[in-house]
Structure 1
Amino acid sequence: MRFPRVKAEHRPFRTTEGTVRIGGEIYGLAAEIDDPGGWVWAALSLLDGRRGPEAVAARLIVMFPELSPDEARGVVDDLVGSGYLEEATAPPPRGLTPREVDRYSRNQAFFRGVDLVPGHSAWETQLALKRARVVVVGLGGTGTHASWALAAIGVGRLHCVDPDLVELSNLNRQLLYTEADVGRPKADLARERLGEANSDIVVTAARHRVTGEADLRSLVDGYDALALCADEPRGEGIRVWASRACAAARVPWAGGGYNGPLVTVGVFDPPHGACYECVAAAEHAHRPEGGIPDLGGPGVTGTSAGISGHLVAQAIVSLVTGVPEVAPGYVHGINLLSPDHHVYARHPARAGCPTCFGS
């Protein structure tokens, strides 16, 4: 970095214990640094975007004669490499139009806070989204909210798949449809409505029912991630198909849904974490009465469907950009009726699993 400064979201402060805390508490990314000599606090004060690392190190040597040049530069280098700093004068990267810079300015502010890759501009995350290709399977409660969120955030190409027509009972939760749409194909409507929501992306659609692993393997070919939002066939069938098809195609995926007030999402990308079948098997062994909850069913509101879809969308953003960096291979969720009931399951791959380790 030429002129680094602390990101506004991570403004540091000194604690009564003599340490320095940097990293916004709201982001859950705070780091606490021992600073008995006051060097770190002084360096952070000097890292204000008006001077380069060498100049900051030189000032530290003047302020603290006990510091050697190597020690002073080490303090500065550690802070610059922490991810809490940004380049003061970094422009948006090439590849984003002025319209897109304006449109996604709030995205940029979000990514700036959560991206701790040293020297990484939050605009680079937006550019990665623009280049991303995501297929959404299932355009019901979870899928309409997930696809809208992915379109709004700027995923460059979305392919939406669903075989069904809109029914009146869908309208309590399925974001993209209105009363006038009853009887019309969901896929066609999704293409139309998402294109209206963001004309800077490409939206395609297909009326297609997934009937096996081969279907999913064909659908994910050429895409960067799968958002699995379908709940048919019931049970684990379609998730097992997705797990195997995506592993074979080396495509990461996230699948989510609801079971009454319980809302969950699973995120998978072997070998970077266990596959769905390994996590499910471990959960069944750990909790034979339950295991991973079944998804779907009649008990759903706009709230539970919306949370489900947005959890899936957030997982997809992480998978295609690496921001925030979260290792796949887990299921998590919440119970809307019990604030203290959180779902989190992460397990190692089973020995010899053909999905995780290849056949």
Structure 2
Amino acid sequence: MSLPPDRLERFARHIVLPEVGGTGQVALAQAHVVLVGCGGIGSPALQYLAAAGIGRLTLIDSDVVDVSNLQRQTIFTPSDVGRAKAEIAAEWVRRFDLGLEVDAIVERVGQGNVAQVLSGAHVVLDGCDNFATRLLVSDACVAAGIPLTSAAIGRFQGQVASFAGHLEGQACYRCFVGDAFDAEGCDTCAADGVLGAMAGMIGTFGAMQAIRVLLSGHAALGDDPQFGKLHLVDGLAPSMRTLSIAKDPSCEGCGGQ
């Protein structure tokens, strides 16, 4: 596959980077990313995934826009209040770049549809707000052999990591959090608060790490997809530290892989 002249011009600042180049940009154009959640994480992540020229985007969110979302979910406006987030996000992508394919799924991810909605993805970027969905998505990614990038925020803290539990020796998200949170209840932004700029910081970091996975084997940036590396960001300090997540041989999600 070669890029037409208008795409070469649009992505010239990528292509001139030795770490990306024309080969890397073609890889991005051929990639399919599934974004779980179009809110605080998903909104800024989507903007930079689309800006990177990801050829196909599947956007999953069952929620509608609320006025309280506007503080951090940057693709929405007051006129969008009450409308489905996934549909508005897809409209944003179509306005931004006609060369991208985008699908909106206005459903909650569950046991009955998770395999179908993730089908064909080269990487899944999960920015949802509850552990039950995160673990369900992780288990489905392991079963389908799809890398997963997970991003989460709370107050002034954030965390981003990519997992490949389907690969030998690599941890999955469940190896990281275990089974203790395999339920609906968890801390929420509504209860604890979150700085809007932190959502942008972690969302774009998540997009960066997903792009790193996509470029693996195509360009220098992707030589190390950083699977199992958990990046913890403190927005107040500010600081970041990185931990390695070990594969749990007894993990229900990937231990038998």
TM-score with structure 2 length normalisation?
Answer: 0.87
- What's the counterpart of residue 10 of structure 2? 103
Q: Given the superposition, is the C-alpha separation of residues 354 and 184 from structure 1 closer, same or farther in structure 2, using an over 3 Å criterion?
A: closer
Structure 1's 279 and 330: CA in aligned 2 closer, same or farther, altered over 3 A? Answer: farther
- Paired residues for 1:206-355 under 5 Å: 206-212=105-111, 214-232=112-130, 236-270=131-165, 271=167, 273-281=170-178, 296-298=188-190, 299-322=193-216, 323-324=221-222, 325-340=224-239, 342-353=240-251, 355=253
Structure 1 distance, partners of 2:82, 2:34, is 24
Unpaired segments of 5 or more residues in structure 2? Answer: 181-185
Distance 1:343 1:102 in 2: 37
| Cα deviations by residue, 1:1-20 (Å, 9 ceiling, x for unpaired) | xxxxxxxxxxxxxxxxxxxx
CA shift in 2, pair 1:301/1:109, >3 Å? farther
User: In structure 2, do the counterparts of structure 1 residues 168 and 100 end up closer, same or farther at CA, with 3 Å as the change threshold?
Assistant: same
Count of residue pairs the alignment pairs up: 242
Quote the Cα distance in structure 1 between the aligned partners of 2:117 and 2:92: 21
Which residue identity does 1:350 align to in structure 2?
A: D
Contact 1:258 1:295 in 2 (8 A): no
Any conservation in 1 of the 2:139–2:254 contact (CA below 8 Å)?
no
Q: State the secondary structure of the residue aligned to 1:356.
A: coil
How far is the alpha carbon of 1:211 from its aligned partner? 3.1
Q: 2:32–2:122: 8 Å Cα contact kept in structure 1? A: yes
Q: Aligned in 2, Cα 1:343/1:263: closer, same or farther, shift over 3 Å?
A: same
Does the 8 Å contact 1:279/1:346 carry over to 2?
Answer: no
Give distance in 2, aligned partners of 1:180 and 1:355: 41
Distance 1:331-1:178 versus aligned 2 partners, 3 A rule: same
- RMSD across aligned positions (CA): 2.0
8 Å contact kept, 2:128–2:134: no
Q: Partner amino acid for 2:225?
A: V
The answer to whether the 8 Å contact 1:137/1:230 transfers is yes
Letter in 2 for 1:320: L
Q: Write the deviation string for residues 156-179 of structure 1: whole angstroms up to 9, x where unpaired.
A: 000111111111111111111111
2:72–2:200 CA contact under 8 A, matched in 1: yes
Question: Residue 65 of structure 2 aligns to a residue in which SS?
Answer: coil
Amino acid at match of 2:13: R
Which residue pairs with 1:181 in the alignment? Answer: 80
CA–CA separation in structure 1 for the residues paired with 2:241 and 2:55: 31
TM-score w.r.t. the length of structure 1 is: 0.63
Equivalence for 1:204: 103
Quote the Cα distance in structure 2 between the aligned partners of 1:182 and 1:162: 15
What is the CA distance between 1:204 and its match in structure 2? 1.2
Identity of aligned residues (%): 30
The 3-state SS of whatever aligns with 1:333 is strand
State the SS of the aligned residue for 1:218: helix
Cα deviation code 1:293-312 (max 9, x no counterpart): x7742322331110111111
Q: 1:100 to 1:296 in 2, by over 3 A?
A: farther
Cα distance change of structure 1 residues 237 and 181 upon mapping to structure 2, 3 Å threshold: same
What 5-or-longer segments of structure 1 have no aligned partner?
A: 1-93, 116-121, 285-293
Mapped contact 1:264–1:343 kept (Cα < 8 A) = no
Matches within 5 A, 1:31-110: 94-110=1-17
Distance (whole Å) between structure 1 residues aligned to residue 150 and residue 226 of structure 2: 15
The secondary structure found in structure 2 opposite 1:338 is coil
For residues 301 and 350 of structure 1, what CA distance do their matches in structure 2 show?
Answer: 33
The residue identity in structure 1 corresponding to 2:256 is G
Separation in structure 1 between the aligned mates of residue 89 and residue 248 of structure 2, nearest angstrom = 39
Q: 1:339, CA displacement in angstroms?
A: 2.2
On the 8 A contact 1:252/1:269 being kept in 2, the answer is: yes
